[in-house]
Amino acid sequence: MKTLFAKYNRERLPKFQTVTKIVELANGQQKSIKQALLPEAQAHIAEIYANYARLTTKYPQIKLVPPNLEDANTVSFSMADGVSLESLLKQALDKQDKSAFFALLDKLVAYVDSFVSERQVKFVPCEKFKQVFGEWTLDEPQDLIELANVDMIFSNLFFADDGSITQIDYEWVFECAVPKTFVLWRAFNVFTYFMSLHIYKFISLLEIFENYNITNYDNQQWLSMDLSWQAYIRGKNKPYVFKDSMQRGQIDVFSLVNQLQEQVNQLQHYNELKQVEIQEKLESSDEQVHNLEQQLADKNTKLSEVYNSKSWKLTAPLRKIFKLLK
Task: With respect to residue 322, please indicate whether it lies within any of the assigned structural domains.
Answer: no
Q: For residue 250, how far is the Cα from the chain centroid? A: 9
Whole-angstrom Cα distance, residue 313 to residue 288? 36
Answer with the residue of higher pLDDT: 135 or 287: 135
Q: Report the CATH number at residue 7.
A: 3.30.200
Using CA atoms, how far apart are residues 183 and 229, in angstroms rounded to an integer? 12
Q: What is the pLDDT of residue 319?
A: 62
DSSP structure class, residue 65? P
How far, in Å, CA of 160 to CA of 84, rounded?
9
**Is the separation of the CB atoms in 21 and 11 below 8 Å?**
no
Q: Which residues contact 273 (CB under 8 A, 6 or more apart)?
A: none
Residue 99 has pLDDT above 50, yes or no: yes
pLDDT at 261 over 60: no
Percent of the chain with pLDDT over 90: 61
Quote the pLDDT of residue 297.
78
Same domain (yes/no): 159, 286: no
Task: Name the β-bridge partners of 74.
Answer: 35, 71
153-212, pLDDT tens digit by residue?
999 999 999 999 999 999 999 999 999 999 999 999 999 888 877 787 788 888 898 899
Q: Same domain for 164 and 221?
A: yes
Range of the domain at 45: 2-78
Return the higher-pLDDT residue of 307 and 144: 144
Worst-scoring range by mean pLDDT, 181-185, 223-227, 275-279?
275-279
Q: How far apart are CA 189 and CA 205, in angstroms?
A: 7
CB 9 within 8 Å of CB 235: no
CATH number where 210 lies:
3.90.1200
User: What band does 245 get if pLDDT is binned at 50, 70 and 90?
Assistant: low
- If asked whether residues 162 and 199 sit together in one domain, one would say yes
pLDDT digits (tens, 9 = 90+) for 34-92: 999 999 999 999 999 999 999 999 999 999 999 999 999 999 999 999 999 999 999 99
Q: What is the DSSP letter of 80?
A: P
> pTM of the predicted model, to two decimals?
0.73
- In eight-state DSSP terms, residue 66 is P
Residue 29 shares a structural domain with residue 151: no
